[in-house]
Structure 1
Amino acid sequence: MHATAGRDRAVPNLPSRDFDVTEAFYGGFGFECEFRDDGWMILSRGELRLEFFPYPGLDPATSSFMCSIRVADVDELYAAVKRAGVPERSVGMPRLHPVRLQEWGLRVGYLIDPDGTQLALIDQPVAT
């Protein structure tokens, strides 16, 4: 086993038109600010980390930013997002797409944040 196993990780770097809006949005379903200055923000929820950079000129309607969030309980995360007031709908931002079993075998829901970033919420059962 590699000496740094358990500490190695990759963290998505996502755009934010306004750090205040981004922090409030993700804070609504349990993300807390770990670091913030004018050029960078890190939000965390348990072991999940999302890092944001300022992109004030981003057009959310044409954004192609995306990332995958793999969690042991996608239903819990999805419910928290929904309780925060993010609607299930097929257009507009922010929005949710319900968790469904995908043809490739995992259950996935989708969150589109206020900046147009698509987060795939993937149920990643813990191996036993």
Structure 2
Amino acid sequence: MDSLGDRAVPNLPARDLGATSRFYGALGFVEAYRSDECAVLRRGPVQLEFFGFAALDPWSSSFRCTLRLADLDGFCALARAAGVPVGRTGFPRLHLPRVEDWGGRVAHLLDPDGTQLSLVERA
């Protein structure tokens, strides 16, 4: 077993890997690898992998993953500073944090391809 231990890494679609890399780059992700077929982006211990899917329709996408964040408010502020609008329609967009029925604070970020990242404040 490697020093990181076992882990799961989401594999998400991107209509344009370059545009996806630029979008997530504004959120602090660094491109660790890229080919014509895929890209690996990292932000600290968080890794997202993307595969090319040129025909993806953001309006019908059901791709999603969860990021558990130590600084939920800081990440949301970073997204807003990067120009991601707060709203209920369109891509990309940000839904600001709120307390869920189960007691946790959660926000949602939808990327330009319609992938939803549920942003959960880590307790």
Unaligned runs of at least 5 residues, structure 2:
none
Aligned counterpart for 1:23 among listed residues 21, 24, 33: 21
Bigger Rg, structure 1 or 2? 1
Q: Which amino acid aligns with 1:20?
A: G
CA distance in 1, matches of 2:2, 2:84: 37
CA distance in 1, matches of 2:88, 2:122: 24
Q: Does 1:79 align with 2:85?
A: no
Instruction: Tell me the equivalent position of 2:50.
Output: 52
CA distance in 2, matches of 1:45, 1:13: 15
Displacement of 1:42 in angstroms is: 0.4
Deviations 1:32-77 (A, max 9, x none): 1000001111001111110000000000010000110111111111
Deviations 1:68-111 (A, max 9, x none): 01111111111111110000011000000000111112100000
Q: TM-score, normalised by structure 2?
A: 0.95
Instruction: Tell me the equivalent position of 2:95.
Output: 97
Give the length in aligned residue pairs: 123
Instruction: Tell me the equivalent position of 1:11.
Output: 9
Indicate how the Cα distance of structure 1 residues 8 and 75 shifts in structure 2: closer, same or farther if over 3 A, else same: same
Query: Secondary structure of 1:79's match?
Result: helix
Unaligned runs of at least 5 residues, structure 1:
none
CA distance in 2, matches of 1:22, 1:30: 13
Give me the CA root mean square deviation. Answer: 1.3
CA distance in 1, matches of 2:22, 2:2: 34
Identity %: 49
Instruction: Tell me the equivalent position of 2:114.
Output: 116
Q: Which amino acid aligns with 1:56?
A: A
CA distance in 2, matches of 1:105, 1:4: 34
Query: Secondary structure of 1:58's match?
Result: coil
Displacement of 1:8 in angstroms is: 1.3
Q: Which amino acid aligns with 1:102?
A: E
